[in-house]
């Protein structure tokens, strides 16, 4: 069964599964990356997501390799450019992301830029185009919307729930960012613009500013975490996206592998000694077992049934992991299964934000 498509924007149809590439160049060699990309593409996946900071964990000597592997694959396999949708993200941030949140400086990316201003946006786009070996990027996304840049917008994330006004700094304006993105669209370097790790305020601010100036591009998507263990998107963001016709690109649908029922990288980020996290995971695994489903199928099918989800962004380091996700694409959850899922969520809401 071929992976179905979703109309993300005019003349931009993306597969409902998107292969993330953040392991390419670190956990996966060039040849391994090619094999994964081949298998995904042959199965009907046309949507591939990267970022200038990838692979992770991020290091100066590997930065940009994920984009390079993806670009080399398109070129070496002689795939017509209009048959793939390439998405990438800038990483113009003061801080690098580690297990506990932001820490350290990625000084190897434009000397550790302190803000996401017009110059950094332009440089990020040009450098990604070179690494991807392409003339244009289909979807260019603002990775963290300047929230972790010193002197810029603050937003609590990665397990932080309460907004502290004293942490707010003066930020690069949305106007400056959209003007730079608009120039990139006009010049043909990017086709569409998206946000990532955003809040309802951030989404509405970008939309409000874009409506005032015809040359400013409208945001078409937001790439936020969404899974059985993290449904915070539904608490405000979903309403914004529904009324403004913005689609969710749901990343980490397996909660970094925890929902597969096997040992995963997620165990280093999410505290599985926390009884609430463990109880929630075990609850979902029991539902999958009860109905004869692979845990991966349950998790992916749950995300894809959301009416605002355009595509689920997942990662795989092995072909069999990729195949499990592909198989999940044909699974439909019955009302009984959904009811049991919602009961687990009511008992243990969002234990892995």
Other CB atoms within 10 Å distance of the CB of residue 300 = 28
Question: Is-catalytic flag, 54?
Answer: yes
- Residue of 343, 322, 347 lying closest to 36 (CA atoms): 322
CA distance 290 to 327: 18
- Alpha helices (H) along the chain: 30-42, 65-76, 118-132, 174-186, 200-212, 237-244, 266-269, 275-290, 295-304, 319-328, 335-347
Residue 14 dihedral angles phi and psi, to the nearest 5°: -120, 150
Closest to 110 (Cα-Cα) out of 97, 121, 99, 102: 121
Structure tokens at 213: 């100036």
The DSSP bridge partners found for residue 19 are 48, 314
The torsion angles phi and psi of 283, rounded to 5 degrees, stand at -60, -45
Cross-strand bridge partners of residue 314: 19
- Contact between 321 and 300 under an 8 Å Cβ cutoff? The reply is no
Q: What letters, b where the CB count within 10 A reaches 16 and e where it falls short, cover 8-35?
A: bbeebebbbbbbbbbbbbbebeeebbbb
| Residue-wise burial string across 95-124, b where 16 or more C-beta atoms lie within 10 A, e elsewhere | bbbeeeeeeeebebbbebbbbbbeebbbbb
- The catalytic residues are 54
């Amino acid at each position: 069964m071929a992976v179905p498509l979703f109309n993300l924007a005019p003349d931009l149809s993306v597969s409902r599964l998107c292969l993330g590439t953040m392991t390419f160049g670190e956990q996966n060699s060039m040849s391994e990356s090619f094999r994964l990309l081949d298998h995904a593409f042959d199965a009907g996946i046309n949507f591939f997501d990267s970022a200038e900071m990838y692979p992770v964990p991020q290091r100066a000597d590997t930065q940009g390799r994920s984009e390079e592997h993806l670009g080399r694959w398109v070129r070496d396999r002689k795939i017509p450019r209009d048959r793939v949708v390439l998405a990438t993200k800038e990483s113009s941030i003061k801080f690098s992301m580690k297990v506990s949140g932001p820490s350290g400086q990625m000084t190897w990316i434009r000397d550790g830029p302190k803000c996401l201003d017009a110059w950094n946006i332009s440089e990020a786009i040009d450098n990604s185009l070179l690494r991807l070996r392409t003339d244009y990027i289909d979807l260019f996304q603002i990775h963290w919307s300047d929230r972790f840049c010193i002197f810029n917008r603050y937003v609590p994330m990665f397990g932080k729930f309460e907004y502290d006004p004293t942490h707010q700094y003066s930020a690069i304006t949305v106007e400056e960012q959209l003007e730079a993105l608009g120039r990139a669209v006009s010049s043909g370097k990017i086709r569409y613009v998206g946000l990532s790790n955003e809040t309802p305020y951030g989404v509405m601010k970008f939309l409000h500013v874009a409506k005032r100036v015809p040359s400013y591009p409208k945001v078409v998507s937001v790439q936020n975490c969404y899974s059985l263990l993290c449904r915070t998107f539904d608490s405000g963001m979903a309403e914004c996206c529904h009324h403004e016709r913005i689609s969710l690109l749901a990343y980490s649908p397996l909660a970094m592998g925890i929902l597969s029922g096997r040992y995963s990288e997620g165990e280093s980020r999410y505290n599985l000694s926390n009884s609430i996290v463990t109880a929630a995971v075990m609850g979902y695994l029991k539902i999958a077992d009860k109905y004869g489903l692979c845990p991966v199928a349950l998790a992916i099918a749950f995300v894809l049934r959301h009416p605002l989800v355009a595509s689920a962004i997942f990662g795989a380091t092995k072909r069999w992991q990729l195949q499990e996700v592909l198989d999940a694409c044909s699974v439909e959850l019955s009302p009984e299964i959904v009811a049991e899922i919602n009961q687990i969520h009511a008992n243990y809401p969002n234990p892995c934000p």
